[in-house]
Amino acid sequence: MSSGKDSGKTYHLSCTGDALETVNKHTDERDITLFGSCFCPFVQRVWVAFEYLGIPYKVNEVDPYKKPKDLLDVSPKGLVPGLKLNYFNPPRPLNESTVILEYLEDLAANTTGRTLLPSHTDPYARALVRLQADHVSRTLVPAFYRFLQGDETKQAEARTELDAALQQLIHLLNDAEQKIDAGMGSGLWSDSGELNWLDVMVAPWIFRASNVLLHYRAFELPEDPKFRAWTQRLFAHPAFKATTSTEDLYVDSYERYAYNRPNTSQVANAINTGRGLP
């Protein structure tokens, strides 16, 4: 648990642990360059997809707060992740994590044959997974930041909001498991499943809740046995492990959110002003 004082730690600029090993394996020029930052969960969801879908890529770690020109060329807001598609002449940009995930899913269908979504032959299963992902984007992710950034007067309410978002996610996962086949349909929620769209969409925030929110807000993830087993499968999956740094990187990098320092990020500013995430 944090001492309650802002020690002034800043965000890390380079991956550590397993993620550093993965960066070092992806330094050669490829058809796709991934612009990312080691601490960013929006980047990690895309990075996990690259690893799982088996799409070749190069990593370019950047400081999104300095907004270098090569990042702005692919992401006009200076946000990560961004892609540079080098097989076009001239290269073409792509940004926004969910859009990139859609692109990688379509690309893999024509190249590696792997997929994160249930088969096109089961549109209802695909719809349920997208419904889960919509809950993550609309409710769970904003609740995570409101809780982390909230001052003492707002933390109790924010904790309740995040707890409710996690319980609703558990409900959606259990409901889908009753309605669609195990395996790809229910992702790692089933112990016989493969990584799926929802897993990739939410895993970076579940992981940061397990260390960042634990450290700064004494937050505990739900005790639900199925939920705990699912998180263990998520964190141990090779594609997720390969993109995960050591826990100190996240604790250090999120201190500025926990003490709500001014102009921490565009995401933090959006939460503070009640606007949608950028």
For 26-34, what is the mean pLDDT?
98
Report yes or no: 81 and 41 within 8 Å, Cβ to Cβ: no
Residue 211 confidence (pLDDT): 98
Report yes or no: 251 and 211 within 8 Å, Cβ to Cβ: yes
Quote the CA–CA distance of 110 and 98 in Å, as a whole number: 19
Give the dihedral of Cα atoms 211, 169, 158, 224; nearest 10 deg. -60
pLDDT digits (tens, 9 = 90+) for 157-177: 999 999 999 999 999 999 998
pLDDT digits (tens, 9 = 90+) for 74-112: 999 999 999 999 999 999 999 999 999 999 999 999 999
pLDDT at residue 3 is higher than 60: no
Q: Which of 34, 156, 52 is nearest to 100 (CA)?
A: 34
Residue 178 confidence (pLDDT): 87
Quote the CA–CA distance of 148 and 158 in Å, as a whole number: 8
> What would the 3-class secondary structure string for the chain be?
CCCCCCCCCCCCCCCCHHHHHHHHCCCCCCCEEEEECCCCHHHHHHHHHHHHHCCCCEEEECCCCCCCHHHHCCCCCCCCCEEEECCCCCCEEEECHHHHHHHHHHHHHHCCCCCCCCCCCCHHHHHHHHHHHHHHHHHHHHHHHHHHHCCCCCHHHHHHHHHHHHHHHHHHHHHHHHHCCCHHHCHHHCCCCCCCHHHHHHHHHHHHHHHHHHHHHCCCCCCCHHHHHHHHHHHHCHHHHCCCCCHHHHHHHCHHHHCCCCCCCHHHHHHHHCCCCC
Q: Which residue's entry shows tokens 């959006």?
A: 270
Total length of the chain: 278
User: For the chain, which domains are there?
Assistant: 17-110 (3.40.30.10), 123-273 (1.20.1050.10)
Quote the CA–CA distance of 117 and 127 in Å, as a whole number: 9
Q: Which two tokens stand for residue 149?
A: 């950034």
Which band of pLDDT confidence, cut at 50, 70 and 90, is reported for residue 271? Answer: confident
Residue 1 confidence (pLDDT): 57
Report yes or no: 84 and 32 within 8 Å, Cβ to Cβ: yes
pLDDT at residue 117 is higher than 90: yes
pLDDT digits (tens, 9 = 90+) for 178-227: 888 765 568 999 988 899 999 999 999 999 999 999 999 999 999 999 99
pLDDT digits (tens, 9 = 90+) for 138-158: 999 999 999 999 999 999 999
Percent of the chain with pLDDT over 70: 97
- C-alpha separations of 169 from 51, 172, 175, 184 in Å: 25, 5, 10, 18
What's this model's pTM, rounded to 2 decimal places? Answer: 0.96
Report yes or no: 168 and 134 within 8 Å, Cβ to Cβ: no
